[in-house]
Structure 1
Amino acid sequence: MKPTPLIELEKLRVEFGGSAGRRVRAVRDVDLTIYEGETLGLVGESGCGKSTLGRATVRVTEPTGGTIRYRGADITTMRGTLFRSTRADLQMVFQDPFGSLNPRRKIADIVAEPLLRARGMSPSAARAVVDDLLDQVGLGREAGGRRPHEFSGGQRQRIGIARALAPSPKFVVADEPVSALDVSIQAQVVNLLSDLIRDRGLTMLFISHDLGVVRHIADRIAVMYLGEIIEVAPRDDFFAGPAHPYGEALLSSVPTLSATPSRERIELTGELPDPADPPAGCTFHTRCRYAVDKCRTEAPLLRTVADGRQVRCHLPLIPLEGPA
């Protein structure tokens, strides 16, 4: 059965600040489809635009251009009551669990807010939902009477997850949800998210720079570099062999328990280029060991490779479906 698109991004752009000549193009004409029921892992270096893309997808950050469609409806400029009801279907778990929680409010009030504001529930009905959610995320309903500072980082992230799930969303953006946590707690939160995805049938955009975590939770992988999507692949295909040289370099840095690692460690030279002044041609050519003259002058398109995967590269590591 053909998968059903839930979120469709078309030429999505986000720019920030400065004069017209120095605007930071954080997200550059992104085309991306997220299918109902899947978890799409979005990976790349810090500063590549992952978080901005995630926030723009649910309009926490407003896009500068392009289109966002949810279940086929254009929500890019939707306003008023219609957007508030739609927005309840699109939720976000933030990277910093403490900074995203109001320190003055009790946990029950924080988690209940989207139920009261977006779903129009009565306070008594909302409280019953909150109690159940706090149980589901492993905190217990007694946590509702306490405030954020009384919890550990991992517990606060569970509160953020409960708040995001309160209005029964269809789509959740999880923005580096475990990066601020101790390694011992990360697995607990990832396992919690995996269980909730399965039990609630959620669709998720899971943003992380940690490929080990992404491999555990994602169905497909999208790789981002300097504001562009440069590769999209099913998880197992990506980990078996990326199609883009940047994906190859990312994967080579993942630690292995094998005494004889099967992959050569690829060290990228130089820093991520300035997003206000990206290189001409392929944006990765300044750090790519395979770059040729064409890469320095001509920007590659996002094209399909032989197994249905997509890659933005003149010299992909997997053959193209058709002529280059």
Structure 2
Amino acid sequence: MPLSFRRWLPGLLLTAALPAIAHADGPAYGPELQGFEYPYTVKHFAFQSQGQSLQMGYMDVAAHGKANGRSIVLMHGKNFCGATWDSSIKALSEAGYRVIAPDQIGFCTSSKPEHYQYSFQQLATNTQQLLKALGIQKATLLGHSTGGMLATRYALQYPEQVEQLAMVNPIGLEDWKALGVPYRTIDQWYERELKLTADSIRTYERNTYYEGRWKPEFDRWVDMLAGLNKGPGQKQVAWNSALIYDMIFTQPVYYEFKNLKMPTLLLIGTSDSTAIGSDIASPEVKAKLGHYDVLGKEVAKLIPHSTLVEFPGMGHAPQMEEPQQFHQALLAWLSKNNPVQ
């Protein structure tokens, strides 16, 4: 594709001080989200992948209070970042967990390579290398949205390293292409991503994630995503986003839920209607997609050692919508299914 991207020097420090650029319609951030404030210190893991020097931004938050000796890895969604786990990091840390919240390659504070073969296997491998470098041999995984697909792939790829698996409104509870959603090319995704604005992001999330509802605190995350997409790295951000959407659409994990061996928790806001490609699906196909009130129950039956917790009336991100209720349910399950008890 005839794209001209700025090439970043290998080993470029993502901590370079690039301030947010003020715009009338909100801030603009650097290509690795420079200028956006994270709730905890962002560190960087440098590694080689596909012949390139890349860096993963991540937060490593120690247990506050009495440590329980366990680690939990938080995997963010497509329109989210490690920063959006802020309340969960606090709740889990206070409960005694060491919390690792990485930004995957292509997202947020991490590298946006010009050429990269995206797969959930590759992202799982990257994350496993990070955990190995941090001395973490076993962990609990908590994946949200696209992070739920990644957490599933990681658990299938490294089952001996995953003590527990928890997923929050994971996408991929259905195979959209098998249900008749048309294929959108990477070039089409790229053109779509170049047109993103804060208003379009807010409208999509309000209608799809929260069934028309909105809370003022969600605007910070809209500005984060919109600011990244309209900053000086707009083209490389949009191109990586297009590649990632293609990965999500073409690499289902749905057929392998039956192979998960560890205790697994599904945390489902039942008002969510997220479905990749539903905007270009026929009315007949669209009507069949994204029914989380049904999908959660169906997938819970496919996973051998599963527990389903539903949040009636909540949307795509119950951990952000009603943090206290969400974390009470999560921590109760984690304690009950503690593998070292």
After TM superposition, is the score higher than 0.5?
Answer: no
More strand by share: 1
Structure with higher Rg: it is 1
Q: Shorter-chain-normalised TM-score: which range?
A: under 0.3
More helix by share: 2
TM-score w.r.t. structure 2 length?
0.26
